[in-house]
Amino acid sequence: MGMSLFVHSIRLVFSHLHEALRISGLIYISLSLAYGIAKLTFPNPSTSTGIPWWMLPAPFIAIPLYLWIAVGWHRFILLDEQPNIAVPRFVGDRILAYFGYSFLVGLILFGVGFIFGFVFFFLTALAQGSELAASGSMLLLMVASLVCANRLAPLLPASAIGRSISVGTAWAATSKGNGAIIVLSLLSAVAAFVVDLPANLLVTMPSGAILALIWLTITGWLKLMVGASILTTIYGHYVEGRPIGGIVPAASMPG
């Protein structure tokens, strides 16, 4: 089941590639070009905090735009709301609600990460600082955080389509899919690691920095859209009770 959730989430993007590009393309490319130009023009300048000065306002600009993409994609899949010519419909109240629930999930994950991090640090210390133990602990921490995030995933698509549900409701709805969600989280973590590996090879080549930046821009878009599709698939299957193959825009359904 976990594999089915993962594969269907990828299929959603590529089966509706035209709409995915209409929803995300202009916004994502604009952000990526701004970042790439700034990175190549000002590769080293830093503030006293060690953060490049041009990065300081970036989260305040990028986060709302990424949320706009995510909300547009959820609404397209779950409500069959077609995007405008180049961007999704701007639904300010849903984007604001999405931000609020994202912040709530972030706080919960911070608490979970702190608890698991302490446990994994203790286990690594028992292993006398073994690199293998440290790497295993980091992987377990990542998977534990992903499992928790995926268990709470229904909160976000629900807020995007105007259906408010509680943390308890989201947690209870996904409880019957515990094993599948663990598998899905493992697959997501491994896939995210693997798709970025070529960037490490590209930077060793002539003009590799530019090639690596292009590669990471492409894989960043893929991770963004598949990640949003995973949230949509979890919500559609565990909250709305749709069969996994039935989590598609209404216009795509036969008959």
Asked if residue 38 has pLDDT above 90, the reply is no
CA distance 76 to 24: 12
CA distance 187 to 182: 9
> The tokens of 223 are what?
């991770």
Place of tokens 């700034």: 38
Comparison of pLDDT for 133 and 145, the residue scoring more: 145
Tell me the whole-structure pTM to 2 decimals: 0.86
Show me where the domains of the chain are located.
2-35+55-252
Neighbour-count burial for 204-237, b at 16+ CB within 10 Å, e otherwise: eeeeeeebbbebbbebbbbbbbbbbbbbbbbbbb
Query: What pLDDT score was predicted for residue 206?
Result: 76
CA distance 228 to 66: 10
Q: How confident is the model at residue 251 (pLDDT cuts 50, 70, 90)?
A: low
> The tokens of 25 are what?
């393309």
What average pLDDT does the segment 229-248 reach? 94
Asked if residue 137 has pLDDT above 70, the reply is no
CA distance 159 to 94: 6
What average pLDDT does the segment 41-59 reach? 62
Between vectors from CA 11 to CA 228 and to CA 193, what angle results, nearest 5°? 60
CA distance 112 to 144: 8
3-state SS, residue 47:
coil
Count H helices and E strands in the chain, helices first.
9, 0
CA distance 223 to 221: 5
- What are 101-126's pLDDT values in tens digits? 999 999 999 988 888 777 777 766 76
